[in-house]
Structure 1
Amino acid sequence: MLVTKTRICLLICLFISQLAQASVDYDVLDLPAVESKMATKSLIYNVKTFGDRTFATGHKGHILYSDDNGDTWTQAQVPVRLGILDIYFVNADKGWAVGHGGVILHSADGGETWEKQYDGYRFGEEGLKYYQQRAEEDPESELMETLVYEMEYAVSQGADKPFFSVYFDSETVGYAFGAYGIIVKTEDGGKTWVHWMHTVENDSYYHLFDYTMMENGRFLLNGEAGLIFDASVEDDYTTLLPNSPYEGSFFTSTTASDGSLIVAGLRGFTFVSQDNGQNWQESKKPQTGSVVDSITLADGRVIAVAMTGEVLVSDDNGNSFNKAAIPYVGPIFAVGAGGDGHLLLAGPRGIIKVAFAD
């Protein structure tokens, strides 16, 4: 009896140790997304259209694509099993997607299959080496000393910081940016990524959420605590615009058909600028929850959506908004064009295509 009990205890201990080992080896950055028939009805973070193809990105590595304005969807093959927050294509074939775990993915076949180019582990490890070298080259720089400390902390934390947005100016030059001011740049299509945090006036390392292109070829970058930047792929430094109209977070931005810039965010505050972000005025709109996404439709109307489910429409380039005549679908995280008088609304309930009256 004693031998039997001893053997049972040994087997239990062995089983527990194997479970512990399995938990150590488990990493969603190394696990592929699982194909699911429910992917279109599960959590979706973003919806965007490039050319004739529409993409939706969501949790557990879900990337979906549609060639019929969101009527039907196909799930892409993705090598990671974590939230994908943004996507960008420079042409019909080449695209990038970013998300939790500091992951950057690349597709060369129109988004049908993806490969991992980068992740949060590399962000910390490569960032530490990069800024240690920069600190050695400029030992009097307090900025480099601070960034070395930040990278040491990043290494200790692992892959815990998400990229919120990705933008590519060409097939080779692109940026990814996100939580706590993280930003990287590539000039070779993502084969290598260089740290770019030292180029942004963001001493408090606030989150960087979204961007929109300006008529002058530059782009506006918006973030937490009212941050609004003027940036260009040709510059080595990103300029903080001094006249931010609000101290809360700006979650989204878009450019109206007349070139006006629109930013919106926390508690529904929305502002418009006619001079590339130098001055702002508050948009007239009904009270809503936090505005989390916005787009400009081909017909010039601006659509903004609130996390609490409101859909707003502007016919005057963002100067004023009214509630759209759309039934409540629940919380909304993103909005996309659905073609033929429809919108694609995305959130915890997946993708919902709704009719949008003229």
Structure 2
Amino acid sequence: MTIKRKLLALCAALAAAGATTVSLHAAGSASSAGPVPAMKARLAARVPVTGMARAGDALVAVGDYGTVVRSTDNGKSWQQAEVPVSSLLTAVHFADAQRGWAVGHGGVVLATTDGGANWTLQQVLDDKPVLLSVYFASAERGYAVGAYGTAWRTEDGGQSWEPMSVGQGRDADLHLNHIFATRQGALYVAAETGLAFRSTDGGDSWTALKPGVSGSLWGGLEAGDDVVLLGMSGRVLASRDGGDSWRAVSGDTEQSLTGAVSTADGKLLVVGAGGVMLRGDASGLNAEVRGDRQNLAAVVLAADGSVVIGGQLGVERLSASTTTSH
């Protein structure tokens, strides 16, 4: 089971416990006792990671226990950031080198203005079991999505949020696993049951896309001229017409795929469960499997071009000896 699948299982448990209504309030009123800050850990870089992002030339990874770690030397060393919550953080995104946001369980929205070294609890979206993804198109306009159709947007840098309706009808309660955008500004959401969604008007309206698979889609990105989606059973799907039609990309794996990064020339590096790593492009991918077989959740390119991965064993800068051919 991948890290993200574990998150969704936790969502179901919370829903069964009665989390059924939604409201939005300022972070300061999250509870009478206030949030509990993340504990300082001697081996913070080994805490399970669920998301990573570039912040200028720095790297930032988020994960369990409210842990955030940051590297300013391309992943060679990591320092733990100051974080005001100890709940599971699931995703992070930066609008520029200084301003970034992270989201997680309990509708937590964190913000930073110093490249991820220090974080504040900006907002809490009540009664939503978990936020799974965050994307900011600019320092003002941002989006957060998550379990059971959770979708919010902000026009003021996260000071206030309003709900969005992504899925309609029976699709309204689908888990929205990942939100991303293309260079032209179109928004895409990878969702469960093999569905994805597209908006070309900043989230005002959404079109359901059907790539032709049944399993959950965990992530996506733009790679060269293609929009690419990743999912269960090793699914990699690519579209060159904005999502109106899709083609399957061979990857020689049945493991769930959870994260990917694209290089400037459109090459892809995809990671997933069981230590699987796929390298190639949207016409075909070659599979490798790490010796530790750890579940990988995220991958990012450092400023010097090196690859950094994050997963159940924390963060790691790759070298040629860390993978073996499958």
Counterpart in 2 of 1:351? 315
Q: Is the 8 A contact 1:245 1:271 kept in 2?
A: no
Report the TM-score when normalising by structure 2.
0.83
Counterpart in 1 of 2:150? 182
Is 2:43 the partner of 1:38?
yes
Counterpart in 2 of 1:221? 189
Counterpart in 2 of 1:281? 247
Question: What does the per-residue CA deviation read over 1:62-94, in whole Å, with 9 as the maximum and x for residues that have no partner?
Answer: 111111111111111111001111111111221
Counterpart in 2 of 1:92? 97
1:239-250 correspondence runs (5 A): 239-241=207-209, 243-250=210-217
Question: What does the per-residue CA deviation read over 1:8-41, in whole Å, with 9 as the maximum and x for residues that have no partner?
Answer: xxxxxxxxxxxxxxxxx99997100111111111
Aligned equivalents of 1:29, 1:301: Cα separation in 2: 45
Give the fraction of aligned pairs with identical amino acids, expressed as a percent. 30
Q: Which amino acid aligns with 2:213?
A: Y
Counterpart in 2 of 1:294? 260
Match of 1:266 among 224, 232, 255: 232
Gaps of 5+ in 1: 1-24, 122-158
Q: Which amino acid aligns with 1:211?
A: I
Question: What does the per-residue CA deviation read over 1:260-283, in whole Å, with 9 as the maximum and x for residues that have no partner?
Answer: 111111111111111111111111
CA RMSD of aligned residues (A): 2.3
Gaps of 5+ in 2: 1-29, 322-326
Q: CA deviation at 1:215?
A: 4.4
Q: Is the 8 A contact 1:29 1:81 kept in 2?
A: no
Counterpart in 1 of 2:67? 62
Q: Which amino acid aligns with 2:190?
A: N
> With CA pairs under 8 Å and 6+ residues apart, which has the higher RCO, 1 or 2?
2
Question: What does the per-residue CA deviation read over 1:123-160, in whole Å, with 9 as the maximum and x for residues that have no partner?
Answer: xxxxxxxxxxxxxxxxxxxxxxxxxxxxxxxxxxxx45
* Larger of the two Rg values belongs to structure: 1
The list of structure 1 runs, each at least 4 consecutive aligned residues, that deviate by more than 6 angstroms after superposition, is 25-29
Counterpart in 2 of 1:173? 141
Aligned equivalents of 1:29, 1:209: Cα separation in 2: 28
Q: Is the 8 A contact 1:342 1:356 kept in 2?
A: no
| Structure that is richer in helix per residue | 1
Counterpart in 2 of 1:115? 120
Distance 1:327 1:354, change over 3 A: farther
Classify the secondary structure of the residue corresponding to 1:240: strand
Of the structure 1 ranges 38-47 and 28-37, higher mean CA displacement relative to structure 2 is found in 28-37
Is 2:170 the partner of 1:203?
yes
Q: Which amino acid aligns with 2:227?
A: L
Distance 1:290 1:38, change over 3 A: same
Aligned equivalents of 1:299, 1:67: Cα separation in 2: 25
Of the structure 1 ranges 297-306 and 90-99, higher mean CA displacement relative to structure 2 is found in 297-306
Report the TM-score when normalising by structure 1.
0.76
Q: Is the 8 A contact 1:268 1:291 kept in 2?
A: yes
Distance 1:336 1:234, change over 3 A: closer
| Structure that is richer in strand per residue | 2
